[in-house]
Chain A
Amino acid sequence: MKGWRVILLLVLLALGGFAFWYARTPGAAPSQAEQASETPPVAYDYEAHNVVLHQMDATGRLAFQVEAKEVTQLPDSGRITARGVTMYHDPPGTEIGSRNRWTLTANNGELPAEGGIVTLSGNVRAHGIPINGNVEMTVTTEHLLYDPDMQELSSDDVVHLAWAGNTYSGKGMRANIRTSDVELKSDVHGTYNPR
């Protein structure tokens, strides 16, 4: 009898060990408590398609206009993300829709809730005529920050710049639309093509 008790105890211990191992194995069905804790929060406040969005500045003037294929607003920060973005910006002191209007396009964009720096990524292209200038300037890159208040474009990535039949590329850029100053920081290549 004593031998049977020992065998039964060993079997019970083996079953307990197997049950413990099974419960901890990935892929096992989660408990209800775990299910509750993993339920994602609401991903966004709203989502809209084929949107035209107008952002006003503190004076009530149109800071920029965004057209996007899809727009979502995140609940935590109020930040707006957009896909298939075309952005229009009329620098202060210029007429809305004038020749000095800047057009920026990108696959993706992030707009802060209350103005500030706009982040564009994926096939970013910005083009326009600087104030007091006559020649269009085009910037292409993969990531671009745009500060409408400071009238500044900046990027840490490789940037290509075309202007007056000349092309430049370099890593890291800062460009001021108002002053028409452009700085390409390193590994700069420029080509002046024959006319």
Chain B
Amino acid sequence: MALTIPADRRHRLLLALVVPAVLLDLFPVYAARAPTSAINIEGQNQRLNVNAGTTTWDDFKLRQAPDTVINSSKAEGTGLATGGNNGRWNLTGKVHIEYQTTILDADTAVVVFADGQIQSIEVHGKPASFSRPGKSEGARNQGTAEMIAYDGGARRLRFTGHTWYSFGPFEGTADKPMVYNLDTSEFFSENTDDSRVHMTVSPDKRVPTPRTPDRKTAE
């Protein structure tokens, strides 16, 4: 017996399926936003002013499941009076940040949390460095710059100051701001006057030509 659905119910079913899909498409940020987990901190010599919502730590180690690690010699947190989900952390000394698959090492950094999630990261160093897995297995996209800024909304890294970058067999330098898209793994120049990215292929990084299969042993 064939299953038949009355016309008015068909419309309701269609609406029930289509409306959420359209909403999720229109508001991907909300659809993709994962529930936040607790932020755990370890350290020494914590000083806290509960009225001002400020704190300082030595040997600072912040963890947030599943993939956030922030370490530094010293940390100063502000804006914590309404809870630690929101706050701004100024980090100094041996700053090491792992966020999702991105690793940043720097001398100083500013990390801003909003609603329990990292909203922005700005690291400074001489130079600060960036690394994350490339598209192909074993390869890493890397870069160094005087300042590297992460924009959580745009999911981009912005390199300013003298920048060196490397991905796959390519590497290059730039003195104008560079942008790295975390979703597409693309480097591009931010400047409109010369948007081309200048790259060189290092001999030691050249991808070896695939060997021709030996026909005698090939099956």
Contacts and interface: CB of A to CB of B under 8 A. Distances in A.
Interface of A: 130, 132-133, 135, 137, 161, 163-166, 168, 170, 179-195
A180 B54 CA distance: 11
Interface of B: 35-53, 57, 80-85, 87, 116
A152 B83 CA distance: 24
Contact of B50 (A164, A191, A192, A193): A164
B46 A164 contact: no
Contacts of B51: 130, 132-133, 180
B66 to A, nearest CB: 14
Contacts of A189: 40-42
Nearest to B52: A180
13 contacts: A164-B81, A164-B82, A164-B84, A181-B47, A189-B40, A190-B40, A190-B84, A191-B38, A192-B39, A192-B85, A193-B38, A193-B85, A194-B35
A168 B83 CA distance: 12
A9 to B, nearest CB: 78
Contacts of A135: 50, 81
A33 to B, nearest CB: 59
B41 A183 contact: no
A191 B83 contact: no
Contacts of B48: 161, 163, 168, 181-184
A189 B83 CA distance: 16
A166 B53 CA distance: 11
Contacts of B38: 191-194
A170 B53 contact: no
B85 A163 contact: no
Contact of B46 (A130, A183, A192, A193): A183
B75 to A, nearest CB: 11
Given A164-B82, A194-B85, A195-B85, A188 B50 contact: no
A186 B53 contact: no
Which 9 residue pairs across A and B have the least CB separation, nearest first? A192-B84, A190-B41, A192-B39, A133-B51, A180-B51, A188-B46, A182-B48, A194-B36, A184-B46
B117 to A, nearest CB: 10
